[in-house]
Structure 1
Amino acid sequence: MNNDHKTQTGRRSESPVNAQTELAEPGRRRFLGWTGAGLGLGLIGAGNALAQTAGNARVSTWAGATDLAIWDAAWAARFSNPLPSLTAPGFIYRPDVAGGNAYTVAAGQVQANVLGIRRAGAPLLTTAWGYGPVDPVSGQPQVSHPGRSFVVQQGSPIQVNWRNDLVDAQGQPLPHILPVDQTVMLQNDPANNPIDGVPIATHHHGGDTMAEFDGVPDQWVTPRRRQTGPGIQLGTPGDVGVNGDILANDGSIRYQYDNTEEASLTWYHDHAEGLTRLNAYAGLAGAYVVRDSNEAELIRRNLLPSGPHEVGLVLQDKVFDADGQFAYPADSILAPVPTEGLDPSLPTHLPEMYGDVICVNGVVWPKLDVEPRPYRLRLLNGSDSRFYTLTFDTTGGVGPFLGFRLIGTDMGFGNNAPMLRTLTIGPGERYDLVINFAGLAANATVVLRNTAPTPYPLGAPVVPGSGPDEVMAFKVTKAFDRAYPKLAPIEDKTVLRGWVPLGKPAGTPSSAPRLPALRVPAGAPVRRVLLGEGSDEFGRIMPLLGTVAAGTLGFHEPSTENVVIPAGQTSVTEVWEFWNASVDSHPVHLHLVRFRVLNRQTFTCTLTPKPMINNWTGVTITDPAAPQPVLARAVTAPFPYETGWKDTVECPPGVVTRVLVTFNRPGKYVYHCHILSHEEHDMMRWFTVTKA
């Protein structure tokens, strides 16, 4: 443990290193200081779950402490390095052939200027992973960190040939750049051969995608497709419904994306079983932007910022070692209870991961120079475990904070644009907002601040000056560019949905029709999903899913959520209830579908231990003394920032969260907590959709 660089308040020491000062070589000494303490099993006993959680005083964090010299240098240089654009023309994927719809994209390794500091006269580069196009002449990948962005049009399908190029110059598989826990990783392929190289499985998060192309955990491929997971169905070129077309021996896996979604910021990231948290942290993620005619009409009517005034922000927290390389806490000394059977010299999975350095678009604490005008900010939380409660601060943290208009959620625009001064975004969630810098003085600085505790919502508060409390800065330094029109102000009654392009015939449907009032169809099936916390065979904390009736279940146990589309129908609508009997808020993500949040309701229950497979211990909330959980009378409405289409929903502890969801494609998919450390161990389950 090496935490001597933190004061009792958590504020870091001020270093003489500044943005212009070079960082000295550390020699061979390398250290990482991890902070962490034990966590309880969960809610064992009777009473209100939320109240019991508060009584447990769970305030510990599974945090990584960056090397002191690196942290101080990056902190001193904060708000000096420019924010990279996710939608700059050179950062957007282009088809392999001009005018075509096929793309070849490779995952690979790259040296990235993440920290924005210098050593020995040169930028201190970080070994990272990312995605990029493949040069059509040389066949070599052009990888960037983070991965480059797709920008596609609704209704125009594309094919993506995903290639695993995590190899060295001789074509041999690279080792992982982060510590891998073999106890939660696939160790053999379906033919019982040891896995050679790092597997990846690329998932389009938010995509209405055939199961064959979803990139679920068992659809993994090793470098150059030398091995494939059991979910990969290899076929011949042109096969329909096969997710592994064999393409000229280039090692690709061909996926098709129909792009039926409304205008929204979706994203793609790795989803390989047992490695998702590590692969995504290393950089295997990128933006996937869908456009539609409704959005285009908003821009044409000067209601929506566009071009350079539309800015994507991917938020992640990181840890760096003394050489400026990514680090990830995996020391068994941090295990929550004494463990049996774990080799203390090997890496171990930990319940959560929190970094003390914030990256936006792959750069530490960047800045964006802005004009005195409205900007559209498209937020994505790409962190492992961290929630962010965000404010735009012009007053040094004392408020009131700069307001903004919320125009959209995960999967599209809202009907209208409420004015907010703060919002909370969990891992995997996206929010779309417009903020106006026009009223600020020249050279004003707006700091995007975070106040979400860790774990969220009942953990330790963020300490000012500790790193995660500041995200990035906006500086009003640019003159108003008259090449772009002055926008009409967005107000409470501004209509964001239902537009059709000018000149279309009367009655032409909008690409984003108005959202109707929420109504549950008569007879809609109701599924009661349990979120609980148990332990694995080594005594490590294990967040789990299951059902209220059966208790917690493992990922590879048979699916309990088997959706049936009735004969003669193209879809079915159901109510899914997430009963959170754990101590964390879980951002639950369902593949394939979009949904709307119905309501929330607190509950009380009795938790009892449940023996599970693999000598795990789970929980159940059904026993002879208390056969059913007891619901409070009050039902609360969705949060003001989640009234539109969602694919990931925050499920607070001690609360049942209800969503209304429609299933339209047959196939086998997963739903899971998007805290990646939870998803991997073992808070993920399969669901199936079939037609009667």
Structure 2
Amino acid sequence: MAGFRPPHDAGSSRRDFLRNGSYSIALVCTFGTTESLKGPSVQTSAKLQTSAARRAQFSSPFTPFARDLPIAPELAPVSGKNGVDVYDVDIKEGLAEILPGFETPIYGYEGVYPGPTIRARKGRPAIVRQHNQLTFDSNVHLHGGYVPAAHDGHPMDVIAPGASFDYTYPNEQDAAFLWYHDHAHGRTARTLYYGLVGTYLLHDEREEELELPQGEYDVPLVLADHAFNKDGSFRYAENVDLGFRGDTMLVNGAVSPRMAVQRRIYRLRFLNASNARSYELRLGNSRQMLQIASDGGLLEAPVARSSFPLHPAERIEVLIDFRSFKPGSEIVLQNVAADAGTTKSVMRFDVVDGGGAEEARMPRGRMRTLEKLPAPNATHRWDLSLLTQGGVQWQIANRGFDPNRIDVSTRLGTSELWQWHNPSNRVHPMHLHGMLYRVVERSSGVVHPGERGWKDTVGVLPGEDVTVQPWFVPYEGRYVFHCHSLEHGDKAMMLQLEVTK
């Protein structure tokens, strides 16, 4: 990891960064007493220098809903010749306006956090040319994408400092909420925490036929918990067991923001980009939301629900009809998970006049027909465990990651049954690269209709067995599957899959 500047309080005790005390609506953000972490450089701009008055002003807790929701910029292609959209992205240090009066140093795609949104279309390939301007190796994984193995962002396939790589994305899959992030092995917990996250929205004709909300009414929401030092920089401390837990809720890089919504139907796309925190999201007064999609795209039919879990790396898309609310109404979205603590207030929707005639509609019947999977031709049981003898290592089936070993081989076009067995006391969001699966069974109860569609990540709860059926299409090659609690993945909770013809 030469060149990467890790936090100098890495390895501190849990109490140094966990802030899960009793909930108070004012207690959203606290400052640490340690010096700024040596992640992104704090010397990138003179504007970063803050006066003693500013520091004193913001040494107390922040109030939620004080800032408007930022919307990530959309990245425009630099070329569209021959039916291929080409994008150009610099991976570099930047400054983010997260806290009032401060600029937080980050690593960012185009130097922003979250990174710019890429809107792609099914059947139209894209090339994303990534230039690594950082001082350490990086790479990019299109999470949830059907991507050839050489372009998947395998943890060992990295872009050296000063080098570039053209990631080719065929976009030959149904519309879905994908996202892209760094995946260089051993440091993803830090690089994602410091900002290397962006959204990739893949569209198709079926969405248009369903008349789902578009444009400004189709909003990606990147959720992540953070903590801060007194100079406004991110504070990070590694915890290999629990994973990092912050005391501050960020949505699209703003502390518990407010979002002005017209009396229209909105499509809200939720991504859990946290290192390790799981959420249970619920609207005030348990108002209903209509879930229309999960990781791999549209469900067969919409599902009405008043709350939903969201584990690290999972995506859920919901429609909310604000036409039934009067102007001036304020609807709070809360995290009601048992360990929410000061991350309880997620964001607030402020209903305003305007919007004109509604062009979208709430789907009521079948939205799509899911492909029929071939009968499984093999079964695997993957035990998820923590090894503490001779060092700490999270393992799958009593093995840690070895880039020179293939842990399971399968044939292109087939399917299998994989059972994740979790005897540990931590949630493990298990992610498979390059392909999708269906959740077949949960030992804790019936599989919820909201996760019966295509998935690439599933939260396996403590003491639970979860059986999934992956479909090994559309590409052959070497891929990985791993826990997306980032500290777990960095500490070897990852195996390799090879798909052959």
TM-score by length of 2: 0.87
Match of 1:533 in 2: 386
1-structure distance, mates of 2:169, 2:355: 37
2-structure distance, mates of 1:652, 1:6: 20
**Percent identity (aligned):** 30
CA 1:222–1:69: 2 relative to 1, 3 Å? farther
**Contact 1:5 1:68 (C-alpha < 8 Å) held by counterparts:** no
3-state DSSP of counterpart to 2:189: helix
Are 2:87 and 1:103 equivalent residues in the alignment?
Answer: yes
Are 2:367 and 1:496 equivalent residues in the alignment?
Answer: yes
Match of 2:7 in 1: none
Unpaired runs of at least 5, structure 1: 34-66, 119-123, 133-142, 167-196, 226-251, 336-348, 394-398, 454-460, 498-513, 547-551, 566-570, 603-635
Match of 1:564 in 2: 411
Deviations 1:180-233 (A, max 9, x none): xxxxxxxxxxxxxxxxx32111100011111111111101123202xxxxxxxx
Match of 1:553 in 2: 399
Q: Which has the higher strand share?
A: 2
2-structure distance, mates of 1:85, 1:678: 30
**How do 1:322-341 and structure 2 match up within 5 A?**
322-330=230-238
Match of 2:274 in 1: 383
1-structure distance, mates of 2:347, 2:263: 18
**Contact 1:261 1:411 (C-alpha < 8 Å) held by counterparts:** no
**Contact 1:5 1:12 (C-alpha < 8 Å) held by counterparts:** no
Match of 1:661 in 2: 470
3-state DSSP of counterpart to 1:438: helix
**Contact 1:2 1:32 (C-alpha < 8 Å) held by counterparts:** no
CA 1:414–1:70: 2 relative to 1, 3 Å? same
Are 2:93 and 1:92 equivalent residues in the alignment?
Answer: no
CA 1:489–1:287: 2 relative to 1, 3 Å? closer
**Contact 1:200 1:221 (C-alpha < 8 Å) held by counterparts:** yes
Tell me how far 1:564 sits from its aligned partner.
2.4
Deviations 1:410-454 (A, max 9, x none): 01111111110010010000001101122223211111111223x
Deviations 1:256-305 (A, max 9, x none): 11001211110000001111110111111100010001012112xxxx22
Deviations 1:132-180 (A, max 9, x none): 2xxxxxxxxxx322110110110111112111012xxxxxxxxxxxxxx
Are 2:340 and 1:462 equivalent residues in the alignment?
Answer: yes
Task: Choose from 573, 593, 597 the match for 2:435.
Answer: 593
**Contact 2:242 2:276 (C-alpha < 8 Å) held by counterparts:** no
Are 2:226 and 1:318 equivalent residues in the alignment?
Answer: yes
**How do 1:504-515 and structure 2 match up within 5 A?**
514-515=369-370
1-structure distance, mates of 2:19, 2:383: 40
**Contact 1:384 1:675 (C-alpha < 8 Å) held by counterparts:** yes
Are 2:496 and 1:650 equivalent residues in the alignment?
Answer: no
Unpaired runs of at least 5, structure 2: 1-12, 37-54
Are 2:188 and 1:276 equivalent residues in the alignment?
Answer: yes
**Contact 2:149 2:479 (C-alpha < 8 Å) held by counterparts:** yes
CA 1:14–1:85: 2 relative to 1, 3 Å? closer
2-structure distance, mates of 1:5, 1:535: 22
Deviations 1:615-663 (A, max 9, x none): xxxxxxxxxxxxxxxxxxxxx4312320111111121222221111111
3-state DSSP of counterpart to 1:677: helix
CA 1:369–1:574: 2 relative to 1, 3 Å? same
Match of 2:107 in 1: 129
2-structure distance, mates of 1:314, 1:103: 21
- Cα RMSD (Å): 2.9
Tell me how far 1:312 sits from its aligned partner.
0.8
CA 1:8–1:481: 2 relative to 1, 3 Å? closer
Task: Choose from 213, 219, 239 the match for 1:305.
Answer: 213
Match of 1:46 in 2: none
Instruction: In structure 2, give the amino acid aligned to 1:10.
Output: S
3-state DSSP of counterpart to 1:224: coil
Match of 1:426 in 2: 311
Match of 1:396 in 2: none
**How do 1:255-266 and structure 2 match up within 5 A?**
255-266=167-178
1-structure distance, mates of 2:318, 2:377: 33
Task: Choose from 140, 145, 159 the match for 1:207.
Answer: 145
Instruction: In structure 1, give the amino acid aligned to 2:461.
Output: P
Tell me how far 1:462 sits from its aligned partner.
2.8
**Contact 2:17 2:227 (C-alpha < 8 Å) held by counterparts:** no
CA 1:2–1:289: 2 relative to 1, 3 Å? closer
Tell me how far 1:543 sits from its aligned partner.
2.2
2-structure distance, mates of 1:480, 1:318: 35
1-structure distance, mates of 2:411, 2:373: 20
CA 1:560–1:79: 2 relative to 1, 3 Å? same
2-structure distance, mates of 1:380, 1:462: 17
Match of 1:112 in 2: 96
- How many equivalent residue pairs? 468
Tell me how far 1:669 sits from its aligned partner.
0.6
**Contact 1:329 1:350 (C-alpha < 8 Å) held by counterparts:** no
3-state DSSP of counterpart to 1:416: strand
CA 1:437–1:597: 2 relative to 1, 3 Å? same
2-structure distance, mates of 1:447, 1:527: 43
CA 1:581–1:211: 2 relative to 1, 3 Å? same
Are 2:421 and 1:579 equivalent residues in the alignment?
Answer: yes
**Contact 1:70 1:320 (C-alpha < 8 Å) held by counterparts:** no
Instruction: In structure 2, give the amino acid aligned to 1:355.
Output: G
1-structure distance, mates of 2:150, 2:79: 25
Match of 1:178 in 2: none
3-state DSSP of counterpart to 2:210: helix
Instruction: In structure 2, give the amino acid aligned to 1:103.
Output: Y
Instruction: In structure 2, give the amino acid aligned to 1:31.
Output: T
3-state DSSP of counterpart to 1:320: coil
Match of 1:243 in 2: none
**Contact 1:150 1:289 (C-alpha < 8 Å) held by counterparts:** yes
Instruction: In structure 1, give the amino acid aligned to 2:429.
Output: P
Match of 1:680 in 2: 490
TM-score by length of 1: 0.64
Tell me how far 1:4 sits from its aligned partner.
11
1-structure distance, mates of 2:219, 2:103: 25
**Contact 2:20 2:247 (C-alpha < 8 Å) held by counterparts:** no
Task: Choose from 544, 558, 571 the match for 2:395.
Answer: 544
**Contact 1:586 1:651 (C-alpha < 8 Å) held by counterparts:** yes
3-state DSSP of counterpart to 1:279: helix
Tell me how far 1:13 sits from its aligned partner.
10
2-structure distance, mates of 1:673, 1:5: 22
Match of 1:192 in 2: none
CA 1:71–1:643: 2 relative to 1, 3 Å? farther
CA 1:564–1:311: 2 relative to 1, 3 Å? same
CA 1:70–1:536: 2 relative to 1, 3 Å? farther
1-structure distance, mates of 2:174, 2:487: 30
2-structure distance, mates of 1:4, 1:582: 23
3-state DSSP of counterpart to 1:223: coil
**Contact 2:292 2:299 (C-alpha < 8 Å) held by counterparts:** yes
CA 1:644–1:13: 2 relative to 1, 3 Å? closer
Instruction: In structure 1, give the amino acid aligned to 2:396.
Output: L
3-state DSSP of counterpart to 2:300: coil
